[in-house]
């Protein structure tokens, strides 16, 4: 064991004071940050009243909305006449078309109708005097022959009795609303109804093989138009999913992001040279331009979109303008900071030869900044594809407006899911392409 005497210890302390005489901040900085984080978290819980917020939240709606993203429902209504007849009616725009004959609805010999909600485990049988709901292993009769529907026997937990109505909740499969003169059923199906052809199409409800046969070699459905062209028109103009309008709005969003970013980059590029202190030694001009960049980027893109939609009306022009103003400020700041951090030696070397200012910039500055500028611009373009979706919701055009319209109805969540998936795919493609181009320009490898 090596013994260090007092003189040697004092010498070591003198040579390395940062290890032996640490400040209060160095000794307790980490602990203070941890305590501050905990205190701030407690303050946030109190300020936002998170316990009450979580207790009063409608968590059941999460499941409802998610189920509607991946499914659709059919809502037949059974009206019981005074003579005991049962009239079946479907909503005007039923996914089953104008003349539905679903196999899950059976007319019984005694005049009653049995509806299969989910196989044989959940069924509803409607007759003129009672409605029998079978679910969770039991059958519950509801008498509808008197002035109000009345459950015969004990009422199960999944059934709610009101004054003039009995509601049976059958979970994801659907629900049943029973009154004296009518029974309303909501039956849920997994998938997206009529995603390819709507109920007005000549190809609606035909098997895939028959549709392919008609397109390839079948007789013309419309003499003036080939079946292939007719099929494309029916898909593009699908009235339920509006593929043509959705894809057009998606393309508008991409164009808005590209145009706004391009114009912002073209405007910010020359202004950045004037804002950089080492390029333009005019402090007043530098400060004016930098504060101008700060102003443009401090106003959020969404606010610019609101201003411009009031000025030019709703549409992609307002969206492109909002992106242009925001990107002029953002890219102007990034470009000017990039210019201020360049290596001045190549610039000074070219300048010493007596070259003109344009040539000094071309050969002394541009080779250093072009890869960085292009990389930053590509990143902003990718980010603006996402941003263009948001500003579209306030009337700036693009798929954002279409998405907001579908959400506002609170009934077209499958259309919302469709557009969200398209947006995710586009963002993924642009993110991948942008990353590949940036790595190529910067000379780094992707992993």
Specify the pLDDT at position 396. Answer: 78
- The CA distance from 38 to 268, in Å, is 42
- The CA distance from 291 to 294, in Å, is 5
Strand partners, 135: 138
Specify the pLDDT at position 267. Answer: 94
For residue range 283-307, what is the model confidence (pLDDT) as tens digits? 899 899 999 999 998 888 889 988 8
Specify the pLDDT at position 4. Answer: 66
Residue 120 tokens read as: 């044989």
- Coil/strand/helix, residue 166: strand
Please report how the helices 316-340 and 283-298 are oriented relative to each other, as an axis angle in degrees rounded to 10: 140
Reported in sequence order, the residue ranges of 129-269 that DSSP labels E, i.e. its strands, are 130-135, 138-143, 150-151, 159-161, 166-169, 174-178, 182-190
Burial of 323 (0-12, 13-18, 19+ CB in 10 A): buried
DSSP string, 278-297: TTS--HHHHHHHHHHHHHHH
Q: Which helix (H) or strand (E) holds 324?
A: helix 316-340
- The CA distance from 314 to 256, in Å, is 13
Pairing relation of β-strands 86-89 and 150-151? unpaired
pTM, 2 dp: 0.78
Specify the pLDDT at position 349. Answer: 82
Residue 295 CB contacts under 8 Å (≥ 6 apart), including other chains: 329
Whether 445 has a pLDDT exceeding 70, the answer reads no
Reported in sequence order, the residue ranges of 127-203 that DSSP labels E, i.e. its strands, are 130-135, 138-143, 150-151, 159-161, 166-169, 174-178, 182-190
Whether 206 has a pLDDT exceeding 60, the answer reads yes
For residue range 134-175, what is the model confidence (pLDDT) as tens digits? 998 899 999 988 878 889 889 999 999 998 899 999 888 889
For residue range 227-282, what is the model confidence (pLDDT) as tens digits? 899 999 999 999 889 999 999 999 999 999 999 999 999 999 999 989 988 888 88
Residue 2 CB contacts under 8 Å (≥ 6 apart), including other chains: none
CA angle at residue 251 from 247 to 256, to 5 degrees?
A: 145
Whether 2 has a pLDDT exceeding 70, the answer reads no
Computed over every residue of the chain, the mean pLDDT equals: 85
Residue 350 tokens read as: 């070219």
- Nearest one of 416, 397, 419 to 406, comparing CA atoms: 416
Report the C-alpha dihedral over residues 276, 281, 287, 288, rounded to 10 degrees: -100
- The CA distance from 340 to 323, in Å, is 25
In a 13 Å sphere around the CA of 22, the CA atoms on its Cβ side amount to 8
- Coil/strand/helix, residue 368: helix
Q: How confident is the model at residue 442 (pLDDT cuts 50, 70, 90)?
A: low
Q: How confident is the model at residue 65 (pLDDT cuts 50, 70, 90)?
A: confident
For residue range 390-441, what is the model confidence (pLDDT) as tens digits? 888 777 778 888 888 888 877 788 899 999 999 899 888 888 888 887 777 6
Q: Are 377 and 430 contacting, i.e. CB atoms less than 8 angstroms apart?
A: no
- Nearest one of 376, 394, 375 to 316, comparing CA atoms: 394
Q: Are 134 and 124 contacting, i.e. CB atoms less than 8 angstroms apart?
A: yes
Cβ neighbours around 405 below 10 Å, total: 13
Mean pLDDT of 32-45: 92
Residue 252 tokens read as: 């508008």
Burial of 325 (0-12, 13-18, 19+ CB in 10 A): buried
Pairing relation of β-strands 130-135 and 122-126? antiparallel
Instruction: Give the least confident one: 10-14, 170-174, 217-221.
Output: 10-14
Q: Which helix (H) or strand (E) holds 107?
A: strand 105-107
Instruction: Give the least confident one: 21-25, 94-98, 106-110, 311-315.
Output: 21-25
Question: What are the φ and ψ backbone dihedral angles of 58, each rounded to 5 degrees?
Answer: -90, 75
CATH 3.30.360.10 for domain 243-442: no
């Amino acid at each position: 064991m090596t013994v260090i005497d007092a003189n040697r210890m004092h010498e070591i302390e003198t040579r390395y004071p940062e290890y032996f005489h640490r400040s209060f901040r160095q000794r307790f900085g980490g602990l203070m940050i941890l305590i501050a984080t905990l205190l701030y978290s407690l303050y946030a819980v109190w300020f936002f009243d998170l316990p009450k917020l979580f207790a009063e939240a409608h968590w059941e709606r999460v499941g409802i909305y998610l189920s509607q993203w991946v499914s659709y429902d059919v809502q037949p209504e059974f009206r019981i006449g005074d003579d005991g007849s049962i009239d079946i009616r479907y909503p005007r725009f039923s996914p089953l078309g104008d003349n539905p004959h679903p196999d899950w609805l059976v007319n019984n010999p005694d005049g009653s109708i049995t509806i299969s909600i989910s196989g044989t485990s959940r069924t509803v049988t409607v007759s003129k005097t009672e409605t029998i709901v079978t679910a969770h292993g039991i059958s519950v009769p509801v008498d509808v022959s008197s002035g109000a529907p009345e459950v015969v026997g004990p009422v199960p937990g999944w059934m709610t009795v009101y004054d003039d109505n009995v509601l049976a909740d059958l979970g994801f499969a659907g629900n049943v609303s029973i009154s004296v003169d009518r029974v309303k059923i909501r039956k849920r199906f997994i998938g997206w109804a009529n995603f390819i052809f709507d109920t007005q199409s000549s190809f609606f409800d035909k098997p895939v093989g028959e549709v392919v046969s008609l397109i390839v070699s079948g007789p013309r459905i419309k003499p003036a138009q080939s079946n292939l062209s007719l099929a494309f028109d029916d898909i593009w103009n699908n009235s339920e999913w509006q593929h043509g309008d959705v894809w057009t709005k998606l393309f508008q969003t991409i164009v808005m992001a590209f145009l706004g970013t391009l114009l912002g980059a073209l405007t910010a590029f020359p202004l950045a040279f004037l804002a950089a202190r080492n390029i333009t030694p005019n402090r007043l001009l530098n400060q004016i331009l930098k504060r101008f960049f700060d102003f443009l980027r401090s106003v959020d893109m969404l606010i610019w979109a609101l201003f411009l939609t009031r000025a030019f009306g709703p549409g992609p022009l307002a969206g492109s303008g909002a992106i242009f103003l925001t990107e002029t400020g953002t890219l102007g700041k990034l470009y000017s900071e990039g210019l201020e951090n360049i290596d001045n030696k190549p610039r000074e070397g070219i300048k010493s030869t007596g070259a003109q200012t344009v040539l000094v910039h071309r050969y002394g500055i541009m080779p250093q900044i072009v890869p960085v500028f292009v990389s930053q611009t590509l990143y902003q373009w990718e980010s603006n594809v996402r941003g263009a979706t948001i500003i579209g919701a306030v009337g700036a055009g693009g798929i954002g407006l279409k998405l907001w319209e579908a959400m506002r109805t609170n009934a077209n969540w499958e259309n919302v899911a469709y557009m969200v998936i398209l947006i995710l795919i586009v963002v993924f493609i642009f993110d991948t392409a942008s990353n590949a181009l940036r790595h190529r320009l910067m000379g780094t490898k992707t992993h």
